[in-house]
Amino acid sequence: MTRFTPRFYVAAAIVAAVLLFGVLGPLVFSGHELGTVVGGLYDHPSGRLWLGTDNIGHDVFTNLMYGTRTSLVIGLVAGALATLIGVVVGTLAGYRGGALEEALMGVTNVILAIPSIVVLILISIALGTRSTVAMAVVLGVTSWPWTARAVRAQAASVRTREHLDVARLSGAGTMSLICYDVVPYMLSYLCMAFVLQVSSAVLNEAALSMLGLGPSGGVSLGIMLHWALAWESVRTGAWWAFVPPTLLLTLLAFALLMLQSSLDEVFNPRLRRFLRRRRPAATPTAEAA
Amino acid sequence: MALTADVTSADAAAAEEGQAASTSLLRYLARKAAWYLGALVVAIVLNFLLPRLIPGNPVDAIVSSLGRGGVEGSQLRAIHEHYVHEFGLDKPMWQQFLIYLGNLAHGNLGTSFAQSPASVSDLIAQALPWSIALQLPAILIGWIVGNGLGAIAAYRGGWFDRGAFLGSLFTSSMPYYCLAILLLYLLAVAIPVLPPTGGYSFGNVPELSGAFVADALTHYWLPFLSLVLVFVGGQAVGMRSMAVYELGSDYVNYGRGLGLRDRTLVRYIFRNAMLPQVTGLALSIGTLVGGALITEIVFSYPGVGTLLFTAISQNDYPVVAGLTLLIAVAVLVANFCVEIAYGVIDPRIRAANRGER
Amino acid sequence: MSTERTADVATAGTSAGPVLTASGLRAAYGPTVAVDDVALSVGSGEVLGIAGESGCGKSTLAAVLSLTARPPLSVLGGELTVDGERLDLSGGRKPPRTWRGGVVSLLPQGAMNALSATAKVGDVAVDVVRAHRGRVPRGVALDLLADRLDALDLPRRVIGAYPHQLSGGMRQRVVTVLSTLLDPRLLIADEPTSALDVSTQRALVDLLRELVRRGLVGGIVFVTHDLPVLRAVADRIAIMYAGRIVETGPTADMVDDPRHPYTAALLSSVLVPEPQVRRRRIGGIRGAPPDLADPPAGCRFHPRCSLAMDVCTTTPPVVGDAEAYATCWWTKDHPDEPLERSL
């Protein structure tokens, strides 16, 4: 029986709120079109423009909504891709073992050894224009190794369990075994891995964007920060240009990580410490020996 | 009695152990070295290949920007040819690769496009000390304070644990550059206590004088603080989780059952929880070069990050490639050293290789 | 009954008196009482076996007796008298640290994993000695360990070994030596033979007997679910069910003539490779142990007992004397009838 702690609900609520903001925000707060000049450069927040304007006169609030959406899309797609590749590679390696495992793990280790930021920078530069999808694919394809490694360890341990022997004896094929017996066993771990991949994808995209290698032509939280830094918003004190995207990014990253650690607590009881215990029996029962 | 038979076979096994120990360690190191060499080769190839896959000729872009600056046509052509020749862009790819490798062996990372004739190595050598000066103290102090905090929180439990855990979780899950931006806003813009940008005041020239050092220090605090808080948070969370896990271990319960003092038990827990933490420290040091890129950009701190930022914005590929190679090599070397240290320190790793377990 | 025992101890007051007298022991996990008013005694040089099914509370009892109970287990009350010294456990009072290991010592379940992976055996021994005897030079502590290993026929090489370098059985024996390094009066062995193969079990049992024979421990409480082992090692046996002791007495008497239906059922469900067992049907005990959060009224075994009567829903009487008794209504009514025939 899994028991969800209060932390889990808080984290899930925050993530849901950010999701809603990014996905439904533009529909709800339909005011300004993305990319239209609505004011001067770095206008202060006012009743009309809740978060003022940025360095080209665009509405920061609109940018924030669309930026959140882009960041989320990239994060989710890249996270899903990375988790998928990682699971496939890891399960195959862990379950089959032998030469296949050695080869796959060799590739994984080499990719792991090279720092991801280096590969991301190099690939992003090599691409001429970077669409949102391309960025998501690049992020997903470079960050699957750690998931593969962990999944392989899990798969290798599942391989020797008895219920697999039973399934094998009853004639199940390899693919069916993997789908119905191995993967469900690791489902809890896969959930946590996916959450981690999403959060790392969001943060990596933001880092790349701040370096100047973000999705070209679009708005993301990282790109908003890039503009803010490149166009002197700090020195001119235009806090509305860089504080809101920072807060949103922080909130998202924090909530995702808290989600992952509370899932960890749920699935791994030994880490549970703060669950309220029921009050112990205070009065001895009336039975006498 | 059955016990005596056990003794004789155990003695024979012990003698064998001693012989096998040294050879297994060498074998372990050799295998690891081979892997890292392979990764290094891949890194170098990637570093060479990817910038050259960019559509369009980078030299054309530079020359055209020079042309906008009012340089004459014939001169432009001369400059163009000079660049193409110097960067070897007129030769086939494999020849370029060999030239590249040869240059690498001499420590020549090429000439910067944007700031030519400055060499890439010179530019990096100017920026690197600032980055190291920022990160090394931050990593070390963050590690010590963070681990201590985590261990105390795990041991004390109660409200201290709860508060410390949530606080550390907060600072460690926040992306480090976000913390940098927030601190920048709070302490340099909203309440102007510390200077917001640069490594030193505008107009000063870097020199080894008391006044300059003092000035540099005031610019140092904000980036340093943002890094340290994140490190402390990260270490504290990791250490606390490990310690909580270890506190539930059989050996802790048994140690209590033997009447061991709490001090002694903490020492055992430390030794078991420490190994991954030491690994983490060594790995962090390996990421010194590329670890705080965005933080430096946020504060316009004259380190490797700002260099990378300007190089990317100027399409200065030699500088970018040089920096990425440096970062990759630093991480690989650090990881390799950690693997060596692990094999030497932890007897279980060697034993696992030998098949004892 | 238990108060009589303590009174006996007070008047006797010699070192030949019982090593352990425990009474009124109660311990719970939150609201669930796992050990309900248990009283025990262990004589000098005696091995008392505690047997029962999984979940009967015997490991909890071992934790309480060895003073190693920790949250979520809380000790609600009771009192221990070891070699004349009284220790009051009620009110959540913490026992003195030096009692653990020095007066009462634990041989834990899964002793194979009881040693820290990064500590050598010799270092642990030095820490143990220093924890009880102050600043003792390292050499002195190691000599003590070496002497003890020699006396018990164990190889000296274990002193410099890490746990993973020793086999499972060797680790078990090393842990036994560490637990008895300071000559505790009472050794609580919690399922020491559960994870061992038969020949290693034998070696461990011989080691325990040797410890008692040499006076290195005053008495042993041997907790197990493995009845045949108890027949070989225990002088007296106590059977636990649902947190209570239902029968106790000398081993031979209990095995030949159990006075509690549960004991009889346990004995008849044990598979022993002896010729006379061949023709007998091995019966199990129908049903399952009760939920300790809501135990049956009166005799806790009565829902599963084939001899249950209406009166069994009230608290059963103690039939017998302090040394050997059974808590059962049926036994009270049929004091001389052997149980096996009626089952």
pLDDT at A31: 66
Question: pLDDT tens across C190-224, in order?
Answer: 988 887 888 888 888 888 999 999 888 999 999 99
All partners of chain A with 3 or more CB pairs under 8 angstroms: B, C
* Chain A residues within 8 Å of chain B (Cβ atoms): 106, 109-110, 113-115, 117-119, 121-123, 125-126, 128, 203, 206-207, 210-213, 225, 229-230, 234-235, 237, 239, 242-243, 246-247, 249-250, 253-254, 256-258, 261, 270-271, 273-274
Burial A147-160 (b: 16+ CB within 10 A, else e): bbbbbbebbbebbe
pLDDT at C6: 39
Question: If you average pLDDT over every residue of chain B, what do you get?
Answer: 75
Residue A28 has pLDDT above 80, yes or no: no
* DSSP result, C253-299: HHHHS--SHHHHHHHHT-----GGGTTSPPP---S-PPPTTSPPSSS
Task: List Cβ neighbours of A112 (8 Å cut-off, separation of 6 or more).
Answer: A145, A146, A149
Residue A250 has pLDDT above 90, yes or no: no
Question: pLDDT tens across C220-274, in order?
Answer: 999 998 888 888 889 999 999 988 898 999 998 888 888 888 888 888 777 666 6
* DSSP result, B209-262: -HHHHHHHHHHHHHHHHHHHHHHHHHHHHHHHHHHHHHHTSHHHHHHHHTT--H
Q: For chain B, how big is the Rg over CA atoms in Å?
A: 27
Residue B255 has pLDDT above 70, yes or no: yes
pLDDT at B15: 46
Q: Which among B2, B254, B356 has CB closest to C114?
A: B254
Task: List Cβ neighbours of B18 (8 Å cut-off, separation of 6 or more).
Answer: none
Using an 8 Å CB-CB cutoff, list chain A residues near B188: 234
Q: What is the number of other CB atoms lying within 10 angstroms of the CB of residue C294?
A: 7
Which has more pLDDT, B65 or C1? Answer: B65
What's the average model confidence in pLDDT over A158-180? 71
Is A278 near chain C, with CB under 8 Å? yes
C-alpha closest to that of C22 among C221, C304, C263: C221
pLDDT at B315: 75
C-alpha closest to that of A222 among A21, A63, A56, A52: A63
pLDDT band of residue B345 (cuts 50, 70, 90) is low
Q: Using DSSP bridges, classify how beta strands C32-42 and C20-29 pair: parallel, antiparallel or unpaired.
A: antiparallel
pLDDT at A278: 33
Residue A247 has pLDDT above 70, yes or no: yes
What's the average model confidence in pLDDT over A6-20? 87
Nearest chain A CA: its distance from C316 CA (Å): 9
Q: What is the pTM of this model?
A: 0.66
Q: Using DSSP bridges, classify how beta strands C47-51 and C186-190 pair: parallel, antiparallel or unpaired.
A: unpaired
Nearest chain C CA: its distance from A1 CA (Å): 18
C-alpha closest to that of B226 among B165, B281, B183, B167: B183
C 288-327: CB under 8 A from A: 315, 318
Q: For chain A, how big is the Rg over CA atoms in Å?
A: 24
What's the average model confidence in pLDDT over B145-174? 79
Q: Range with the lowest mean pLDDT among A113-117, B106-110, B241-245, C143-147?
A: B106-110
pLDDT band of residue A270 (cuts 50, 70, 90) is low
Question: pLDDT tens across A189-234, in order?
Answer: 888 889 989 988 998 888 888 888 888 777 888 888 888 888 777 7
Question: pLDDT tens across C272-303, in order?
Answer: 666 665 666 666 777 788 888 888 888 888 88
Q: Which among A279, A280, A287 has CB closest to C315?
A: A287
Is A273 near chain C, with CB under 8 Å? no
CA angle B253, B258, B261 (to 5 degrees): 85
Whether residue A287 and residue C28 make contact (CB cut-off 8 A), yes or no, is no
pLDDT at C189: 92
Tokens 């924090």 -> residue: A254
**Half-sphere exposure at residue B54, Cβ-oriented, CA atoms within 13 angstroms:** 23
> What percent of chain A has a predicted confidence (pLDDT) above 70?
84
With CA atoms as reference, the chain B residue closest to A196 would be: B173
Nearest chain A CA: its distance from B158 CA (Å): 9
pLDDT at B22: 61
Q: What is the distance between the alpha carbons of residues C65 and C61, in angstroms, rounded to a whole number?
A: 6
Whether residue B51 and residue A122 make contact (CB cut-off 8 A), yes or no, is yes
Q: Range with the lowest mean pLDDT among C155-169, C239-253, C305-319?
A: C305-319
Whether residue C118 and residue B10 make contact (CB cut-off 8 A), yes or no, is no
Read off φ and ψ for residue A262, nearest 5 degrees: -75, -30
Using an 8 Å CB-CB cutoff, list chain C residues near A279: 30-31
Q: What is the distance between the alpha carbons of residues B332 and B335, in angstroms, rounded to a whole number?
A: 5
Best of C3, C33, C60, C245 to mutate (most A CBs within 10 Å, chain A): C33
First-to-last alpha carbon distance for chain B, in angstroms, is 27
What's the average model confidence in pLDDT over B180-205? 72
What's the average model confidence in pLDDT over B321-336? 85
Q: Using DSSP bridges, classify how beta strands C104-107 and C47-51 pair: parallel, antiparallel or unpaired.
A: unpaired
Question: pLDDT tens across A107-148, in order?
Answer: 888 888 788 888 888 888 777 677 888 888 889 988 898 888
pLDDT at C139: 92
pLDDT band of residue A274 (cuts 50, 70, 90) is very low
Asked if A111 and A147 count as a contact pair (C-beta separation under 8 A), the reply is no
Tokens 């700002």 -> residue: B306
pLDDT at B245: 79
Asked if A165 and A142 count as a contact pair (C-beta separation under 8 A), the reply is no
pLDDT at B357: 34
Which has more pLDDT, C30 or C3? Answer: C30
All partners of chain B with 3 or more CB pairs under 8 angstroms: A, C
Q: Which among B38, B50, B161 has CB closest to A122?
A: B50
Using DSSP's 3-state secondary structure scheme, residue C249 falls into strand
> What percent of chain B has a predicted confidence (pLDDT) above 70?
72
Q: Range with the lowest mean pLDDT among A145-149, B137-141, C53-57?
A: C53-57
Asked if C247 and C257 count as a contact pair (C-beta separation under 8 A), the reply is no
A116-126 and A183-211 helices cross at what angle (nearest 10)? 60
Q: What is the distance between the alpha carbons of residues B95 and B111, in angstroms, rounded to a whole number?
A: 18
Q: What is the distance between the alpha carbons of residues A192 and A278, in angstroms, rounded to a whole number?
A: 29
Using an 8 Å CB-CB cutoff, list chain B residues near C132: 259
Asked if A56 and A37 count as a contact pair (C-beta separation under 8 A), the reply is yes
What's the average model confidence in pLDDT over B345-352? 60
> What percent of chain A has a predicted confidence (pLDDT) above 90?
6
What's the average model confidence in pLDDT over C164-180? 88
Which has more pLDDT, C91 or A120? Answer: A120
Whether residue A289 and residue C37 make contact (CB cut-off 8 A), yes or no, is yes
